Amino acid sequence: MPAVTTAFIIGWLFILGCVVGSFLNVLIWRLPRGLGMDQPRRSICPHCEKPIRWYDNVPVASFLVLGARCRDCTGPISWRYPLVEGLTGLLFAVIYWRQGVQVGVGADQVTIMLLVVCLLIVGSAIDMEWLIIPDEINVFGLLGGLAAGFMVPSLHVGAAPYHTFEVLTGIYRLDGLIASLIGALGGGLMVVFFAILGAVVFRKEAMGFGDVKLMAMMGAFFGWKFVVVAFFIAPFVGLLYGIPLLVLRDEHVMPYGPFLSIGAVVTIIFRSELTLYLEPLEHLAATLLG
């Protein structure tokens, strides 16, 4: 593809991501409060409850123009709004550039990666404020991951020993679904194992059932190698964030979902490089089973 076209798509995806991020902000506000998408129909200022004008609802830009204040009551607007919008835009652009352009995966795979990033952003933002990841994200995500495995088996291509099932059944899509199921089980059980280990060794509950479901969902989307990598990146991010917090504010309660999510996003961006290290393990499994 010509460089101009690539640059155009990347720019377009950044803008699309900012607009999608604006919708994610609505979910982040409404899901934990049990509000449907039509209550109220339009977004309102949480301080004065006046509806937000359409021209004050432009992602990132409106926040800057308004100086982080509501036009009507001058009540403060949370930094979360432009952050979520800008981050979604940035990740849309970066993931397309890395996976779509550099690695060369298909548009179907890139689309699924972008959808997963949306789920992770909403889940993390809610987890940071409420210390829960809603089932709307986890359960929907898990089912979505299994459906994606069936519909886009290329997400799991090369995932030995699953290709053996194709030989048995002759159904390529079934391989994707099986790889997806193994990923979901692997991801969930890995968190359960380390949560129990942590509880025994440190006598402290570090991870919750929400994290189990989150990693099961990631395994369903991208397979077991993916979750192993993402799971072991998370504590490094967690330490970078947690140690200053512990020292400065004596804060011990910390949601783990956002760190697992950062681990997952890093793994989406550098997937082929990071999972390479796990290939010997996979060949061993293929030899044993094949």
Q: How far is the CB of 75 from Zn ion (least distance, A)?
A: 5
Of 30 and 47, CB closest to Zn ion: 47
Task: Give the residue with the Cβ less far from Zn ion, 65 or 73.
Answer: 73
Asked if residues 218 and 226 have their Cβ atoms less than 8 Å apart, the reply is yes
Tell me which stretch binds Zn ion (CB under 5 A): 66-74, 151-159, 180-188, 260-268.
66-74
Among 7, 48, 139, 284, binds Zn ion (CB under 5 A): 48
Distance CA 172, CA 158 (A): 12
Q: How many CB atoms lie within 10 A of CB 47?
A: 14
Q: What is the DSSP letter of 103?
A: I
Residue with tokens 């959808």: 115
70-78, 107-115, 194-202, 282-290 -> range binding Zn ion (CB under 5 A):
70-78
Polymer length of the chain: 290
Tally: H helices and E strands in the chain: 12, 0
Minimum CB separation of residue 146 from Zn ion in Å reads 43
Q: Are 159 and 178 in contact (CB under 8 A)?
A: no
How many chain residues are in contact with Zn ion, going by CB under 5 A? 7
| Residue ranges in 77-106 that form contacts with Zn ion under rule CB under 5 A | none
Q: Work out which of 31, 70, 121, 262 binds Zn ion, going by CB under 5 A.
A: 70
Beta-carbon contacts of residue 22 (< 8 Å; ≥ 6 apart): 57, 59, 81, 85
Q: How far is the CB of 67 from Zn ion (least distance, A)?
A: 13
Binding range to Zn ion, per CB under 5 A, among 43-51, 104-112, 139-147, 163-171:
43-51
Gap between the Cα atoms of 120 and 108, Å rounded: 19
47 binds Zn ion (CB under 5 A): yes
- Residue 72 binding Zn ion, by CB under 5 A: yes
Name the residue nearer to Zn ion (CB basis): 46 or 244.
46
75 binds Zn ion (CB under 5 A): yes
Taking alpha carbons only, the member of 134, 100, 135 closest to residue 114 is 100
155: CB partners within 8 A, 6+ apart: 109, 112, 148, 149, 176, 180, 221, 222, 223
Classify residue 32 by burial, with Cβ atoms within 10 Å: 0-12, 13-18, 19+: middle
Q: How many CB atoms lie within 10 A of CB 124?
A: 25
Minimum distance between the CB of residue 72 and Zn ion, rounded to whole angstroms?
4
Q: Which is nearer to Zn ion, 26 or 246 (CB)?
A: 26
User: Could you tell me which residues are beta bridge partners of residue 69?
Assistant: 76
**Piece of the chain touching Zn ion by CB under 5 A; list 74-82, 138-146, 219-227, 232-240:** 74-82
Stretch of 62-70, 94-102, 132-140, 152-160 contacting Zn ion, by CB under 5 A: 62-70
Instruction: Compare residues 77 and 142 and give the one whose CB is closer to Zn ion.
Output: 77
**Residue with structure tokens 């089980």?**
185
Nearer to Zn ion, 37 or 48 (CB): 48
Residue 44 is a binding residue for Zn ion (CB under 5 A):
no
**CB of 176 closer than 8 Å to CB of 153:** yes
Q: Does residue 163 bind Zn ion (CB under 5 A)? A: no
Among 18-26, 44-52, 110-118, 243-251, the segment contacting Zn ion (CB under 5 A): 44-52
Provide the binding-site residues for Zn ion, judged by CB under 5 A.
45, 47-48, 70, 72-73, 75
